Chain A
């Protein structure tokens, strides 16, 4: 079997195991390429039936407008249910406290809203698009990754996963994070998007926009970014290799307007995808620490 067929078959198998083993699952949808790929795989797993889960978007309020536009278009096309958890609501309720200063980001606040949303709807499994090749803590993640009642990941108490047998048994209050594309690399995702002709938000492709230099990386000059006289703002041809919220996702110089250009660009790249994520640069164990708190 071709490697993309193999990865696809494995991901569909995992999605169907979620449907079969859990009462109330959800698919975490960020509007990024990985979760868009998950939606495509869910279609292959369950059509012509409906998805046995809603899509859940944790919206920081600082998303790229293009992402939100794409999300709404996709949901409309699918005819599936979308639930949106708003970080702004968590802030208004005093559950999350906004960071201050120039490098403020709502990225860490997502965890609060995510855990609240899981509790509010009683989700017992949340499917996410994380991949093991992204980051070294994620390389240790199980496909069915159990979180305790407080949403915490305990890397030392993970269940062994043998063959393709997935143990989704949990106690009430716990939930499982499920990662169907664990074994995919960034390049696999792009090759698959090309093969399957999957639509993506426009920001993945090269475009011109105002960008501001922060810690050596070009960030989109968003209205909620504090920009002052000391900042260097330029108008450049860029694209986004990974799409989180606007405060933590850096642009890369690019003239890639087609999928083929993007694939060539990634093959030639000498930095990893997460290299453009400010949230991973905080410390050596930044991702591991966030995951322990409940981040996906």
Chain B
């Protein structure tokens, strides 16, 4: 059994809370005392049903205002899979929360109200899905009961969305017509839509494959050096970290970046047990054949397929801070275990998040998304977003406040 992490995009009006609530309720994931708490809070939706949003609105301020402000995580599982649902607010003033939530998800469910079709919010959320290179997009055309379960409405929305997807370059899109409120196509196939030949939402989530189609070259950012320094383990020196990419195995030729030193993988260890080949995502210890100077922040890579190591590059950034981006200031770029001093050399353009049009403005404020050029104090090791998204991502930290002020994805070498 594996894990699927997904985010639901949309607002209360689109039935987002109803959809999450329905999934949790129908998989028996809501317990009596939690239901009791919901009933006690006595919050109702416009249609009179119990508002399940209280399950995810964990903060007092959220319950008072009846809106989701922050990102929340919900957990449920079936016989086939374990799920982590990220619930993030959908409104434009919470774009940064949405990006945070999406960054921790593999799949995004985009909810479209069948009566409204593709709207500005749909475009915005789809743009963010593309920006963050999410592996799958599932469009749920909701409230099908309100349009008489009409297949033509569904087909029209599907066609409109595919036009949008192709404009954005969004691949891997699937569609399901549902009624979250009535339960149509949520857990079981709906009898009201015999014309729909696909699976129910839960079936889809249980079986969708989100593995990468092509293997990625391995990278190994060193987090910590294990040195017991005891009498019997005097020479033990293990590099601890989490594997990124595929195929890391004993005997591999290794390059250490940024120094460029070379060695070979002598052995791999997983919790004190030897390992021949490591899998993507495993937390392991690597031993090298030679005595090379390696510490936290260094990254071991396959000699045959090295990443880039550059000082100047272009990135898409989402700005998270109340203070606007300042080109005169030094920021810290943290990618994996490395922290590098950087400056924003140039703001190339800003995106209108609703229309995705480029705007030639240089003033970057909270929630803005822009393409920038970065100048770093030393070589930064990365792959490009289009080749290997997981190794193109980083955060910007303001060293005066220590706050995370931006999320960036490296797009090009400058």
- Residues in A lying within 8 Å of B, measured CB to CB: 1-3, 5-10, 12-13, 16-17, 19-20, 43-50, 52, 132-133, 135-140, 155-156, 158-165, 167, 169-171, 182-183, 185, 187-188, 269-272, 275, 284-285, 288
Inter-subunit contact A9/B393 (CB<8 Å)? no
Q: Which residues from A are CB-within-8-Å of B280?
A: 1
Chain B residues, CB < 8 A from A5: 282
B271 touches A44 (CB 8 A): yes
Asked if A137 meets B283 with Cβ closer than 8 Å, knowing A183-B75, A284-B41, the reply is no
Report the minimal beta-carbon distance from A16 to chain B, rounded to whole angstroms. Answer: 4
The interface bits of chain B over 1-44 (1 if a CB of A lies within 8 angstroms of the residue's CB, else 0) are: 11100000000000000000000000000011110010011000
Secondary structure call for the B interface: mixed
Number of B interface residues in the complex (CB < 8 A): 69
Residues of B close to A187: CB separation below 8 A: 77
Binding site secondary structure of chain A: loop
- Residue interface mask B54-91, A partner, CB < 8 A = 1: 01111111010000011111110100001010000000
- Top 5 A-B pairs, shortest CB-CB distance: A136-B58, A12-B283, A169-B402, A44-B271, A16-B223
Chain B residues with Cβ under 8 A from A13's Cβ? 223, 242, 283
Our pick among A2, A49, A170, A275 for the contact of B1 (Cβ within 8 Å) is A2
A126 to B125, CA, bound (A): 36
Minimum CB distance partner of B82 in chain A? A3
A141 to chain B, nearest CB (A): 9
Q: Other than the known A155-B61, A156-B61, what 13 A-B pairs have Cβ atoms closer than 8 Å? A: A2-B1, A17-B337, A47-B226, A140-B72, A158-B70, A160-B99, A165-B336, A167-B404, A169-B399, A169-B402, A182-B73, A275-B31, A284-B40
In whole angstroms, how far apart are the Cα atoms of A23 and B412 in the complex? 36
Cβ contact within 8 Å between A183 and B84 = yes
Residues of B within 8 A of A284 (CB): 37, 40-41, 60, 63
Residue interface bits B384-414, CB-to-A below 8 A is 1, else 0:
0000001001110101001110010000000
Which of B145-153, B155-163, B233-241 faces chain A? Answer: B233-241
Chain B residues with CB below 8 A from A52, complex form: 224
Bitwise, B230-265 to A at CB < 8 A (1) or not (0) is: 100100100011100000000000000000000000
Task: Check if B97 is an interface residue, CB within 8 A of chain A.
Answer: yes
Query: Is the Cβ of B70 less than 8 Å from the Cβ of A16?
Result: no
- The complex places the Cα of A275 from the Cα of B82 at a distance, in Å, of 23
Choose among A2, A47, A271 the residue that contacts B33 (Cβ–Cβ < 8 A).
A271
A46 partner residues in chain B, CB cutoff 8 A: 224, 226, 240
B279 within 8 A of A: yes
In the complex, residue of chain B having the shortest beta-carbon distance to the beta carbon of A132? B73
Say whether B96 faces chain A, with CB atoms less than 8 Å apart. yes
Which residue of chain A has its CB nearest to the CB of B396? A167
Q: Closest residue to A273 on the B side, CB-wise? A: B31
Residue from the list B99, B104, B236, B283 in contact with A45, Cβ < 8 A: B283
Q: Are B59 and A167 in contact (CB under 8 A)?
A: no
Q: Name the residue of chain A whose CB is nearest to the CB of B3.
A: A3
Question: B362 on the interface (CB 8 Å rule)?
Answer: no
- Whether A1 pairs with B34 at a CB distance below 8 angstroms is no
Q: Mark B209-239, 1 if CB is under 8 A from A, else 0.
A: 0000000000000011011101001001000
- Nearest CB on A from B21, distance (A): 14
Is there an interface contact between A159 and B404, defined as CB atoms closer than 8 Å? yes
Q: Which of A20, A159, A188 contacts B337 (CB 8 A)?
A: A20
Instruction: Given A13-B283, A20-B223, A165-B394, verify A132-B75 contact (CB < 8 Å).
Output: yes
| Residue B335 interfacial (CB < 8 Å) | yes
Check B103 for interface membership: any CB of A closer than 8 A: yes
A28 to B282 CA separation, bound complex (whole angstroms): 25
Q: CB distance B59 to A155 under 8 Å?
A: yes
Chain A residues with CB under 8 Å of B179's CB are none
CB-contact partner of B74 in A8, A44, A139, under 8 A: A139
**Among B58, B272, B281, B332, contact of A6 (Cβ-Cβ < 8 Å):** B281
B320: interface (CB < 8 Å): yes
Contacting residues, chain B, for A19 (C-beta < 8 A): 223-224
CB distance from B82 to the nearest CB of A (A): 5
Give the shortest distance, in Å, between A212 (CB) and chain B (any CB): 22
B334 at the interface (CB under 8 A from A): yes
